[in-house]
């Protein structure tokens, strides 16, 4: 018996805590976002099928029977060339008899590059949910982030993939537009989310692990900007049944609910946070992790 040998750092969404992870790629094929330090020290690599197969084969049969969910890592594992990815998915079906769902992060390049024909074949092999870092629905902000995508182009592709049956968990990053673009970022991201209506939505807070001068031309947001931006974002979402979470380690306040149903409660909570912090100097202060960017 041998277990998968991971190359670290290894990231997965919090909701994949119970999934078995196979790293079919290592690092991020793009690795150029100005804010992201997840894979800066990791050279991108596509794992050959034989190496992946060796890891699967090393798992005892009785363990395989209990696996229901698999997460494919690293950063955008679905960038794996389609033919090889289908072979991997076929092998997973063959070896894990009770497998219900396979998930992965998906970068914009992989989403756009693969044809709908390929995505249909992928979906039919139980890869049915993708985690996508939109970060912002505003193209100016995306340029600052060097995300390498156009928000509308990706939106259309994702809507096509939803018609195939894919579920999406979308991440938006609070503070990504600094002070200058705070409102444009909130409103355009809310519009994008409303039009896509993903199953899950996470609101994280920008946490700079790479570009320390990120806020140079757009001003570093203070605590009050982040509260107001979260409120403007939630206020403008028109989607229905979106499971919303803002309780990542990067978040300064914790929010969870279902949009639109819990919108008023979430806005009231943010308003209470604002009132509670008023007059204590907190609203005008910077989050600790922005201190070196002021």
Nearest CA-CA partner of 290 in 215, 184, 217, 218? 215
**Stretch of 26-34, 86-94, 169-177, 248-256 contacting ligand SF4, by CB under 6 A:** 26-34
Check: CB of residue 125 under 8 Å from CB of residue 72: no
Tokens of 146: 């060097």
We find the least distance from the C-beta atom of residue 242 to ligand SF4, in angstroms, to be 22
**Binding flag, residue 171, ligand SF4 (CB under 6 A):** no
Segment near ligand SF4 (CB under 6 A); pick from 25-33, 136-144, 247-255, 267-275: 25-33
Of the ranges 27-35, 112-120, 195-203, 252-260, which one interacts with ligand SF4 (CB under 6 A)? 27-35
CA triple 135-133-139, angle to 5 deg? 40
Cβ-count burial 148-184 (b if 16+ within 10 Å, e if not): ebebeebbebbeebeeeebebbbbbbbbbbbebbbbb
Question: Going edge to edge, which strands form the sheet with 200-205?
Answer: 20-23, 69-73, 101-105, 127-135, 167-174, 200-205, 242-246, 255-259
Does 13 sit near ligand SF4 (CB under 6 A)? no
**Torsional sign, CA 19, 59, 48, 166:** negative
What DSSP state is assigned to residue 63? Answer: H
Is residue 72 within the footprint of ligand SF4 (CB under 6 A)?
Answer: no
CA 160 to CA 119: how far, in whole Å?
10
36 binds ligand SF4 per the rule CB under 6 A: yes
Least distance in angstroms from the C-beta of 133 to ligand SF4: 5
**Distance between CA atoms of 123 and 129, rounded to whole angstroms?**
9
Please report whether residue 28 would count as binding ligand SF4 according to CB under 6 A: yes
Give the integer Cα–Cα distance in Å for 136 and 143: 10
Q: Of 106 and 226, which CB lies nearer to ligand SF4 in the complex structure?
A: 106
Q: Which is nearer to ligand SF4, 135 or 232 (CB)?
A: 135
* C-beta closer to ligand SF4: residue 33 or 231: 33
Nearest approach in angstroms of CB 100 to ligand SF4 is: 26
* CB of residue 21 to ligand SF4, shortest distance in Å: 16
**CA dist., res. 127 & res. 100, Å (int):** 9
Which residue, 135 or 229, has its beta carbon nearer to ligand SF4? Answer: 135
Residue 221 in the binding site for ligand SF4 (CB under 6 A)? no
**Is 33 a binder of ligand SF4 (CB under 6 A)?**
yes
Does residue 75 interact with ligand SF4 by CB under 6 A? yes
- Tokens representing residue 3 in the block: 């277990």
The site map against ligand SF4 for 102-131 (x = CB under 6 A) is: -----x------------------------
133 lines the binding site for ligand SF4 (CB under 6 A): yes
Kindly list the residues in this chain that would bind ligand SF4 in the complex (CB under 6 A). 28, 30-31, 33, 36, 38-39, 75, 107, 133
């Amino acid at each position: 018996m041998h277990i998968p040998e991971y190359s670290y750092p290894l990231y997965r969404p919090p909701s994949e805590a119970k999934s078995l992870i196979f790293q079919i790629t290592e690092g991020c094929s793009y690795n150029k976002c100005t804010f992201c330090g997840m894979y800066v020290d990791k050279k991108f690599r596509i794992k050959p099928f034989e190496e992946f197969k060796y890891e699967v084969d090393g798992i005892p049969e009785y363990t395989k029977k209990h696996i229901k969910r698999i997460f494919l890592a690293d950063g955008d594992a679905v960038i794996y060339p389609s033919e090889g990815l289908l072979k991997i998915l076929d092998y997973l079906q063959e070896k894990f008899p009770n497998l219900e769902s396979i998930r992965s992060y998906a970068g914009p390049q992989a989403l756009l590059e693969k044809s709908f024909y390929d995505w249909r074949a992928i979906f039919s092999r139980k890869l049915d949910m993708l985690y996508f870092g939109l970060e912002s629905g505003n193209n100016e902000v995306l340029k600052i982030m060097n995300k390498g995508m156009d928000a509308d182009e990706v939106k259309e592709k994702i809507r096509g993939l939803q018609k195939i049956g894919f579920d999406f968990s979308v991440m938006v990053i609070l503070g990504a537009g600094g002070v200058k673009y705070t409102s444009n970022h909130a409103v355009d991201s809310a519009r994008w989310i409303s039009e896509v209506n993903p199953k899950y939505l996470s609101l994280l807070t920008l946490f700079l692990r790479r570009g320390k001068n990120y806020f140079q031309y757009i001003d570093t947001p203070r605590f009050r900007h982040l509260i107001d931006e979260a409120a403007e974002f939630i206020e403008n979402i028109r989607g229905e049944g979106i499971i919303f979470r803002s309780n990542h380690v990067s978040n300064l306040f914790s929010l969870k609910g279902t949009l639109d149903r819990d919108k008023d409660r979430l806005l009231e909570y943010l308003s209470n946070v604002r009132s509670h912090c008023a007059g204590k100097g907190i609203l005008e202060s910077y989050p600790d992790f922005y201190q070196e960017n002021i």
